[in-house]
Chain A
């Protein structure tokens, strides 16, 4: 459920960058304070482990599909929330860099969705409460299952919120939720099972590697987490309201879109408006423009024409669809390739000149 840059607006991406960046700085300070020197290599190698473990897929019986480990919860149980959050963040960063998995603008969102919820919600509020550090017991199994499911559900829900706030995907909120949550329910169950089995294996093979007494250094005070949650809520709330206020006609626009589905039976005002706009844009090539005026009722189009131009709703119909745009775009593409070719030859030549 890595989010991609292409679906995120700079405001949402930037906000989550700030939130995740703050969390990283906070966790980095906390990890430094723990005075467990061996955390440095442990975190690094465990990050590599998560990466490598995600290369291994197993088949999910009866579905023909395969799954792999997320690993957030396992990490948190092993090395505590602060170190685990940093490890998850580093894994996602390297994945974004090298596999374009997620993307840079979406990195803040991904770190938050996949790191914050397992480390600061699912682990302290669910896993620790239920499992009580009795690793490998049936309590711990239930704990891992519930924690993994809740963590992933929150993460998936957060993906929906971020995508909706960005306004690039047109997927309705309800449909998106209905699509994401059941999928991640299944993923969460698998993740929970995997987490519980792996932890109980480690508990048997290396009992000293797991925190045993609740009093050991891994305990989390809930205050900073709750404060973090509150801040996040305020920020996200702020973003959404900011978004809403810059596009006061957003609701109207979405209504028009819903009505747009019945365009064949009863052409609504929204269509005429946009058709008129298109016509205006494409007018310099009469052939194309002519077809439009034929297709749309002339009176309505011209009536709307006067009112439309400056008060266009925000996903403005623009030059992107006009012929000029297409011609110009293609030209730019050709130019870009040419420029690239020239630079490449020059770069190679200069390298030969030096060598």
Chain B
């Protein structure tokens, strides 16, 4: 996390509010398909690589329909990579059972599973980012509530998202003013604590003021909303179509089949 992340979230928010064929698909439909996608991808055995490649189609098609810059999503995936990388990179050192030889290189099980992990990482993270970029937080929240997520939690998500922009701005201002007076040194624990504490107090005061504004308009503990979103036929077709494709790609290794076909033709 850093200041750049905060700018990023604004960008993501902008993308999420566009109006494209991908954005017009019902949020519930996209949420369900995304979950199914991740579960199917993760259900492959841990040395699988080629059978995973057809799954790239889903995020790529949706991102293209949504006119989301691919490079932007790729960069976000890279930024998120370290944890999977750190745990996954140990696989080649632990599992050194050779599986194959390509030219002068011996491919071990560990390397294969490492590549598989990283590929799955790209797929699952890509799918999640695709969902948000093609839906936006607001539509997503409304969709989650329709699926059955408790209202209290959805309201919490939307409130958090709303004030994220306000409180982050305060944090950025504080950091900037601290940086101006610290001659390039990073924050000491003491300064850090005092910043956090003040940020917390300000946030609590803000919460009080928001509460005041809420009860001034008749708030009684229940956040009521007026939302109309219907699940249309195209949404249902989208869900069914995607699920069937995922299932087919799970059962048959499409990439391998394609390769066999090609290799067969060549030889």
A351 contact set on B, CB distance < 8 A: 20, 67
Tell which of A141-149, A232-240, A300-308, A342-350 binds the partner.
Answer: A342-350
A37–B215 touching, CB < 8 Å: yes
B35–A45 touching, CB < 8 Å: no
The 8 Å CB contact of A263, one of B54, B98, B208, B254, is B98
Tally A residues with Cβ within 8 Å of B: 128
B166 and chain A: residue at smallest CB distance: A48
B186–A57 touching, CB < 8 Å: yes
A99–B79 touching, CB < 8 Å: yes
B167–A51 touching, CB < 8 Å: yes
Tally B residues with Cβ within 8 Å of A: 137
The contact string, 1 if C-beta is below 8 Å from chain A, for chain B 184-205, is: 0111110111111101110110
**CA of A296 to CA of B88 in the docked complex: distance in angstroms?**
28
B97 contact set on A, CB distance < 8 A: 256-257, 260, 263, 270-271, 274
Known: A56-B192, A288-B102. A317 touches B124 (CB 8 A): no
The contact string, 1 if C-beta is below 8 Å from chain B, for chain A 7-32, is: 11110011000000000110011011
Q: Which residues between 238 and 289 of chain A lie within 8 Å of chain B, taking CB atoms?
A: 256-257, 260-261, 263, 270-271, 274-275, 278, 282, 284-285, 288
A343–B101 touching, CB < 8 Å: no
Nearest CB of chain A from residue B63's CB, rounded to whole Å: 7
Q: Tell whether A339 is near chain B: CB-to-CB under 8 Å.
A: yes
The 8 Å CB contact of A94, one of B66, B164, B166, B167, is B164
A56–B47 touching, CB < 8 Å: no
Q: Which residues between 25 and 45 of chain B lie within 8 Å of chain A, taking CB atoms?
A: 34-35, 38-39, 42-43, 45
Known: A197-B197, A318-B48. A48 touches B20 (CB 8 A): no
A91 contact set on B, CB distance < 8 A: 160
**CA of A25 to CA of B152 in the docked complex: distance in angstroms?**
9
Nearest CB of chain A from residue B177's CB, rounded to whole Å: 12
Nearest CB of chain A from residue B178's CB, rounded to whole Å: 9
**CA of A284 to CA of B257 in the docked complex: distance in angstroms?**
13
Q: Tell whether A340 is near chain B: CB-to-CB under 8 Å.
A: yes
Q: Which of B127, B140, B191, B220 has the most CB of A within 10 A?
A: B127
**CA of A157 to CA of B249 in the docked complex: distance in angstroms?**
35
Nearest CB of chain A from residue B144's CB, rounded to whole Å: 9
In the complex, 28 of the A-B residue pairs with CB atoms within 8 angstroms, ordered by the A residue number, are A8-B42, A14-B39, A35-B221, A47-B159, A51-B167, A55-B6, A56-B196, A57-B187, A69-B196, A97-B128, A100-B76, A105-B42, A168-B113, A171-B90, A171-B94, A202-B197, A205-B197, A274-B109, A284-B263, A284-B267, A288-B101, A324-B50, A326-B50, A327-B259, A331-B255, A331-B262, A332-B255, A347-B21
Excluding A90-B156, A317-B47, A340-B61, 12 further A-B contacts by CB distance (< 8 Å) are A5-B42, A24-B149, A47-B164, A49-B199, A56-B192, A58-B186, A58-B188, A98-B8, A206-B204, A320-B48, A322-B259, A347-B20
